[in-house]
Structure 1
Amino acid sequence: MKTQRSLRTYRAKRDFQKTSEPAPSDEVPRRRGEPPIFVVHKHDATQLHYDLRLEIDGALASWALPKGPSFDPKTKRLAVETEDHPLAYAGFEGRIPDEEYGGGDSLLWDRGTYETVPPGEAPAQRKKGHLTVQLHGEKLKGRWHLIRTKPQGKKAQWLCFKAMDGEADADYDVTAERPESVKSGRSATRGPVRKRALPQRPASTEQILQSVWPPMLAQLSVPEQADDATHVYEVKYDGFRALASVSSGSLTLHSRNGNDLSARFPPLAEALRQLRVTEAVLDGEIIALDAQGRSRFQLLQKGSDAEQRFVAFDLLWLDGEDLRQRPLEARRELLEQLLSGVKPPLQISERLELPADKALAKARSQGWEGLIAKRRGSPYVGSRSSDWLKLKVQAGQEAVILGYLPIKNARAQEQIGALLVGVHGPDGYHDVGKVGTGFSSETRRELRALLDRQRVKAPVAVDAQPRPGAVWVKPKYVAQVHFTEWTTDGRLRHPVFQGLRTDKKPQEVVREQVPSPRKAATKSKAPRKSGARRAPSALSARATRAKAPPETEELARLTHGERVLFPQEGLTKRDVFEYYREAAPLLLPVLANRPLAVQQWPAGIQAPGFFRHELSGMPDWLPTLRVKHEAKMLEHVNVQSLDALLWLANQSALTLHIWSSHAPKLAQPDWVVFDLDPGKGRWEDLISVATALREKLEELGLESLPKTSGKRGLHVLVPLAPGHTYAQTQRFAEKIAAELETELGSIATTERTIQKRRGRLYLDVGQNGRGKTVVAPYSLRAIPGAPFSAPLSWSEVTRKLDPLRFNLKTLSQRLEAVGDLFAQALQGKQTLA
């Protein structure tokens, strides 16, 4: 009864229909004679603090330590006594709903047993106001004191400090050295998101989803291209790819092609709506389980009563923040926190803490389709990327239905006998064989009725084989098939029909092949620094010209690849095409949803070029961004994917110029930009002005990022937090430029007229206006040598800096040396005064 009375406050403050914290009725019995336990929770509520809990009189007496425990006996930490908690709370870890008492993440930071000194006096010492405890935890060890002081307000205040014993260490910061949970291993926490802190008019789930669209795709590979030191392994599920945007009970659930899936999978949609989150976008797979608990695509077909689940494997958006540039590990940790405590039909993807060979062996023994190998520290990009590798143990392939052979059984004339299937290639559809097994009689009838409405007189495949009695159809439907291998003539061996795919377009279906490893992409034995992007390799001009265009899975196709664009070096359009393919993981996060203008040189850089906002001949599949300019609306190419970037490369769009803001917040620039144009002046003057600019910004507490313009100039960007206007950035840039002109007027000027500059460096801040552009990082420039605009560290901005050494041929070397230095510009948190 005494225990129940002590837990009244705990019970009164919580709604156990909303919080996953244990109720007093969930109490677990303790065996007599067991030593008392203690735990410490790392709790990110109103502010991050540590909750010390000691088992006393059948409950957990609790104190909140704002700064956590210290091993320095001279450091006395405040400990505010809070309500007693039930003993079941000793195993609790999870997220308390934002609007509930104590809302935020709570990690089990330490646990163990304790005794008082002398033993058995915990109730008496607590009542007296001086507890001396010997802790036997995983992190906290030795003797500690808790001493009650004069009460301040309603809550009793104590001091917590380390006793002078053999465990004391003034130089050991335990909270910094050991931030992780002893239960889950997580270390990052997220505080509550208060409704009043969110926008008054929150975006719809559809708008939120579009802001992180399109989904990232994996590249088919072989185990040798993954490395245990640089990759983690997850189960590859056999189902429908799906992205779920959730906001306070509202839901948008789309396939990778943007088709709505909520009506088709209502139980999953309802479970996602019940997630306790203000805003989130989850990337995952909709699967159906067989009797052995394995995902099977064919069980997702109409009429199946198999158990369905939504398996989440990535988190792209959370409570107003775009997470795509965060490292893989950080996104996974937030996803685990968000889904802690959820039950089927929702689950998180399974990770295998095994080396690749053992993980693949397990995949085979379990009957899985395979594994996904994900590169540690990698961002989420809206394209197909080698940062995610598909390692298959069962061969699977999407195939476009090009026709069928009627069944020969006279009693089943309304059924198909076999499907005639193909894949898409650079020159059209190609025949890859027939699929005659895997159908039920009902499926054969349904497919016959479906396909008879799409009949055509001649096959659409460019290499269709003569087939007596064949019925040819329009390429409208996509089938999923399993098979044993590809034959030498490009056919499917022993294919088995699995079902129709409504999430794939026929023109997206290509023959999946493992790409040949390139020398510059050799495996690293050391893990990459967290947050750094993979350094893609740039093929040499000689190597790319010597090879035929690689088979791709993109919609964009290279034409006239042999055309020379850089005569002095002999670099062709194919070289440019391959350069932008390799630079895509770096460029896509910058370009997506950002208006851009391009400079095209279809006849090579020795001929006149063209500067354009709108481009002619844009295909229907190409994403665009309709933007209002001063006098009219313009349709910009929206480079959300590798397809769009390669389409521009095929248009000989060598140089890409970008706005400083991106949709849907086109009025809010992401940075202030200073363009230092030396003209024909001295390089030493440029370095002096750039150094002075950096120092002036640092005096204001602002960090900056330099990059070469790709020619002789230098761009200096000041990354900003959201919420600034173009008027603010323009005023700020003009003020700084004016101050620099006053101090360095002999070598720098804000004068636009070239004649009036008198050879001085031009401090150009005009790009800070709405609709003004700056050359994108990693964009090529149309001058001999094919240089690109290279992000720099300030330590490189010296008289020895040569911008021309950053070029099409040296991209891979540059990235292997420094990684993607521009990533920080996309994560601005600075505010202008």
Structure 2
Amino acid sequence: MKTPRSLRTYRAKRDFQKTSEPAPEAKAPRRRGAPPLFVVHKHDATRLHYDLRLEIDGALASWALPKGPSFDPKTKRLAVETEDHPLAYAGFEGRIPEGEYGGGDSLLWDRGTYETVPPGEAPEQRKKGHLTVQLHGEKLKGRWHLIRTKSRGKKAQWLCFKAMDGEADADYDVTADRPESVKSGRSATRGPVRKGALKSRPLPAEQLLERVWPPMLAQLSVPTEADDATHLYEVKYDGFRALAALSSGALTLHSRNGHDLSGRFPQLAEALRQLRVTEAVLDGEIIALDPQGRSRFQLLQKGSDAEQRFVAFDLLWLDGEDLRPRPLEARRELLEQLLSGVKPPLQLSERLDLPGDEALAKARSQGWEGLIAKRRGAPYVGSRSRDWLKLKVQAAQETVILGYLPIQNARAREEIGALLVGVHGPDGYHDVGKVGTGFSSETRRELRALLDRQRVRAPVAVDAKPRPGAVWVKPKYVAQVHFTEWTHDGRLRHPVFQGLRTDKKPQEVVREQVSEPRKAAQKSKAAPKSGARRAPRAFSARATRSQVQEEPAEAEGRARLTHGDRVLYPQERLTKQDVFAYYREAAPLLLPVLANRPLAVQQWPAGIQAPGFFRHELSGMPAWLPTLRVKHEAKTLAHVNVQSLEALLWLANQSALTLHIWSSHAPKLAQPDWVVFDLDPGKGPWEDVITVAQALREKLEALGLESLPKTSGKRGLHVLIPLAPGHTYAQTQRFAEKIAAELETELGSLATTERTIQKRRGRLYLDVGQNGRGKTVVAPYSLRAIPGAPFSAPLAWSEVTRKLDPLRFTLKTLSKRLDAVGDLFARALHGTQTLP
């Protein structure tokens, strides 16, 4: 097929040496006799809009819809006719570079086939100015009209609207409910970064890297600690950890120890410099591939001609914004957008959309080192964290070279025979055995020359055993080895040399061991290194108060603590500084819950003994604070959008003790994430609450539904049913009302659905009104304004007994609670259940 003449304008507007969009002559796979294509692109260029494209006369006729399509026949949307696009554009998704025509992200939002009504009249109807099309898309279905109205300069204006058919639905907002790409599943987009868009001048690359230092580290673990409902799995690559900071074309590429890697890997450095971005910091791994395409550390050694790559797995900074407080999924989505269309030697880390056991089986079959299990919703913290778990299928260990044994032949003066290696411990270096395989003759000679310059008379290991002929050296070099297992006396069994590591210091090399979650939590009480963000595993009011005093601006940036000595809980003498510190520690638990979710807050600026205020929209919000504009029945309000630590701490500084959240989050505000039952105790005994809660659980389990209890923070209980996406508030409200009515029938002497307090006659109130749109429930880990400073604590059902005391979960006991059970609410954020 010849290239249509209508594509001349398309070609003239684009430089195909810079943009990854298909050239006009690019071939598009087609089937003979197949119905014509239609696609819709979600395009974040000058502004976010939707591009409707219909296959007509060998090209894609295109219209830009500023507000996107609507299923309401009464809503007529402007559609501006643009240049025709090649058929190959039907499969395009990616980022159009800044400075190029249409620069910004373009997602393939919908695709399918269509026919005109009557069929086969697309060219004639387009020329006439009235297209009536029947769409068969993944999102857009049914009959639609496109009617030309007038010209706007050289661009013709049309109206696009839904026909009155069985697919019309005035209440369905398809762009809000289905924001995702049908190709990649991504939903967020990023427009072009223009001059002046950054809040300040771009930082030098070196300073940019310092802003996000140090890197996050994973904890060696076992597969049973990762859960498919709470973790995502990525390939663990066998290479050098590297962070790349880009600023206006300049690059700083450092190892985790701060060593410059750009000189050693010039090809990778040059590829990174070519990324079209103003400011960015990427976290990744430098790897070398064997003939089977697997990363092998030993191939990174000097002299290897193996193919090298920079594999990016996280994005810490982008165009003036620190992304570390954002949830894992949000950072990954931005990283995917940034790297869309890149080619080797740059690549995105591989994520496995598989259950954990299948992912590990694949890792074994592919010969990978293992997997990294990353907790959903987790922020990026500058320390070792259990939010990232190393699950190894090949045992690997870093070791310190403590000496060597000469080779036992004529080359004894030129080559080593085996390395004597150790690891660092609290009392010094410890001998873990010798490594005699994995060397080439050249490597043996190079190591001999290197080590002979570091000779010492006596071994530095505190437990070194006599070895005839051993040559001992200073602990200066680190070797990577693979091995089968540790022996009972702490030695490496069958170790194989992989290469030298220049990115690790000898004193950092310790024996990697699987630690229990509680032990890891206790270790986190140690003060973090400068710049590190601590995980919420060991809250200590005293320790964090001093930390807040020492680094109010460096750690929190624009969210500053003021009047920190103001007492908010008089009985316990807890101050605003204590509340500030609590929410700082609880942030990694709260941010995944609060981000993009409308919330209302209760403020007590004069302490809980004075009147408080309940507000949806707060006064005095600074310009930097993200907000969600939400349409309520009477008016549109701007809710604080707690996407970051700074936003949460700003609320804490406003004495916002209690946070109330919607059951849904943007962009799917019409789809609740759970059903909620609020068991509000009356004047009856605590046993009544337990009886009703257990009865509710049994009733739900009979329907095949799992539920999650939490304390309200006072005397009540909340029971949530985590749901898969796609439910409506009407569905959850009807379901909750039905279950509550059944419980009232069965337990009418204990519980009631009666709203009027007088008519309840002291019985427990089965409140399901919080399932309506715009209704709120107290957020997990949110403080309550009553003596003791209790918080709303997620529970295990085994804890819901007569011995349960909801008021024992307080500001002072958070660390103890997390050490014991971890974050029990995480699974509520990724529900997979469907209501019957």
One fold, TM greater than 0.5? Answer: yes
* Native 8 Å contact 1:75 1:161 kept in 2: yes
Distance (Å, rounded) in 2 between the aligned partners of 1:452 and 1:419: 12
Asked whether 1:677 is paired with 2:567, we answer yes
Larger mean Cα displacement after TM superposition, 672-681 or 23-32: 672-681
* Native 8 Å contact 2:420 2:433 kept in 1: yes
Residue 222 of structure 1: how far off its partner (Å): 0.8
Residue 340 of structure 1: how far off its partner (Å): 1.2
Distance (Å, rounded) in 2 between the aligned partners of 1:257 and 1:174: 48
Residue 275 of structure 1: how far off its partner (Å): 1.1
Match of 2:11 in 1: 11
Q: Report matched runs for 1:342-421 at 5 Å.
A: 342-421=342-421
Distance (Å, rounded) in 2 between the aligned partners of 1:800 and 1:264: 58
Distance (Å, rounded) in 2 between the aligned partners of 1:654 and 1:670: 13
Distance (Å, rounded) in 2 between the aligned partners of 1:167 and 1:697: 37
* Native 8 Å contact 1:671 1:719 kept in 2: no
Name the SS for the 2:446 alignment partner.
Answer: helix
Consecutive unaligned residues in structure 1, runs of 5 or more: 519-549, 553-577, 589-622, 624-637, 706-717, 734-790, 822-833
Residue 163 of structure 1: how far off its partner (Å): 0.5
The aligned amino acid for 2:566 is L
Flag the 1:32–1:389 CA change in 2: closer, same or farther, 3 A: closer
Residue 366 of structure 1: how far off its partner (Å): 1.1
Name the SS for the 1:363 alignment partner.
Answer: helix
Match of 1:35 in 2: 35
Asked whether 1:691 is paired with 2:612, we answer yes
Name the SS for the 1:388 alignment partner.
Answer: strand
Distance (Å, rounded) in 2 between the aligned partners of 1:664 and 1:257: 22
The aligned amino acid for 1:472 is W
Distance (Å, rounded) in 2 between the aligned partners of 1:426 and 1:412: 35
* Native 8 Å contact 1:672 1:719 kept in 2: no
Q: Report matched runs for 1:285-684 at 5 Å.
A: 285-518=285-518, 579=522, 581-582=523-524, 638-640=530-532, 655-658=546-549, 661-663=552-554, 670=560, 675-677=565-567
Consecutive unaligned residues in structure 2, runs of 5 or more: 574-603, 627-639, 655-778, 792-807, 827-836
Residue 394 of structure 1: how far off its partner (Å): 0.8
Larger mean Cα displacement after TM superposition, 791-800 or 447-456: 791-800
Residue 652 of structure 1: how far off its partner (Å): 8.6
Name the SS for the 2:114 alignment partner.
Answer: strand
The CA RMSD measured in Å over matched residues stands at 3.5
* Native 8 Å contact 1:286 1:309 kept in 2: yes
Match of 2:232 in 1: 232
The aligned amino acid for 2:548 is H
The aligned amino acid for 1:676 is R
Match of 1:121 in 2: 121
Alpha-carbon displacement from aligned partner over 1:717-766 (angstroms, at most 9, x marks no partner) = x99999x9xxxx9xx99xxxxxxxxxxxxxxxxxxxxxxxxxxxxxxxxx
Q: Report matched runs for 1:166-245 at 5 Å.
A: 166-198=166-198, 201-245=201-245
* Native 8 Å contact 1:205 1:250 kept in 2: yes
Residue 408 of structure 1: how far off its partner (Å): 2.0
Distance (Å, rounded) in 1 between the aligned partners of 2:783 and 2:378: 25
For residue 817 of structure 2, the aligned residue among 791, 813, 817 is: 813
Name the SS for the 1:150 alignment partner.
Answer: strand
Flag the 1:583–1:230 CA change in 2: closer, same or farther, 3 A: farther
Residue 389 of structure 1: how far off its partner (Å): 0.8
The aligned amino acid for 2:607 is L
Aligned pairs, how many? 633
Residue 295 of structure 1: how far off its partner (Å): 0.8
Residue 153 of structure 1: how far off its partner (Å): 3.9
For residue 797 of structure 1, the aligned residue among 757, 760, 785 is: 785
* Native 8 Å contact 1:96 1:106 kept in 2: yes
The aligned amino acid for 2:810 is F
Name the SS for the 2:374 alignment partner.
Answer: strand
Residue 28 of structure 1: how far off its partner (Å): 3.0
Residue 152 of structure 1: how far off its partner (Å): 3.7
Distance (Å, rounded) in 2 between the aligned partners of 1:279 and 1:300: 28
Larger mean Cα displacement after TM superposition, 800-809 or 245-254: 800-809
Flag the 1:121–1:263 CA change in 2: closer, same or farther, 3 A: same
The aligned amino acid for 1:698 is L
* Native 8 Å contact 1:424 1:507 kept in 2: yes
Residue 162 of structure 1: how far off its partner (Å): 0.6
Asked whether 1:64 is paired with 2:64, we answer yes
Residue 196 of structure 1: how far off its partner (Å): 2.7
Match of 2:131 in 1: 131
Residue 662 of structure 1: how far off its partner (Å): 3.6
Residue 682 of structure 1: how far off its partner (Å): 11
Match of 2:747 in 1: none
Residue 501 of structure 1: how far off its partner (Å): 0.5
Alpha-carbon displacement from aligned partner over 1:92-116 (angstroms, at most 9, x marks no partner) = 1000112211111100011111111
Residue 154 of structure 1: how far off its partner (Å): 3.6
Alpha-carbon displacement from aligned partner over 1:372-401 (angstroms, at most 9, x marks no partner) = 111111111111111111111111100001
Distance (Å, rounded) in 2 between the aligned partners of 1:417 and 1:457: 19
Flag the 1:46–1:356 CA change in 2: closer, same or farther, 3 A: same
Alpha-carbon displacement from aligned partner over 1:789-818 (angstroms, at most 9, x marks no partner) = xx9977712467469963665425379798
* Native 8 Å contact 2:783 2:789 kept in 1: no
Residue 307 of structure 1: how far off its partner (Å): 0.8
Distance (Å, rounded) in 2 between the aligned partners of 1:360 and 1:719: 37
The aligned amino acid for 1:686 is G
Residue 655 of structure 1: how far off its partner (Å): 4.0
Alpha-carbon displacement from aligned partner over 1:23-74 (angstroms, at most 9, x marks no partner) = 1121437555331111000111111111101111111111111111111111
Q: TM-score, normalised by structure 2?
A: 0.70
Residue 348 of structure 1: how far off its partner (Å): 0.9
Residue 205 of structure 1: how far off its partner (Å): 0.9
The aligned amino acid for 1:396 is A
Distance (Å, rounded) in 1 between the aligned partners of 2:489 and 2:554: 47
The aligned amino acid for 1:691 is G
The aligned amino acid for 1:505 is K
Name the SS for the 2:566 alignment partner.
Answer: strand
The aligned amino acid for 1:806 is T
Flag the 1:201–1:243 CA change in 2: closer, same or farther, 3 A: same
Flag the 1:196–1:665 CA change in 2: closer, same or farther, 3 A: farther
* Native 8 Å contact 2:249 2:274 kept in 1: yes
Q: TM-score, normalised by structure 1?
A: 0.70
* Native 8 Å contact 1:672 1:720 kept in 2: no
Name the SS for the 1:811 alignment partner.
Answer: helix
Distance (Å, rounded) in 2 between the aligned partners of 1:698 and 1:814: 31
Distance (Å, rounded) in 2 between the aligned partners of 1:802 and 1:117: 64
Distance (Å, rounded) in 2 between the aligned partners of 1:681 and 1:332: 45
* Native 8 Å contact 1:670 1:720 kept in 2: no
Match of 2:24 in 1: 24
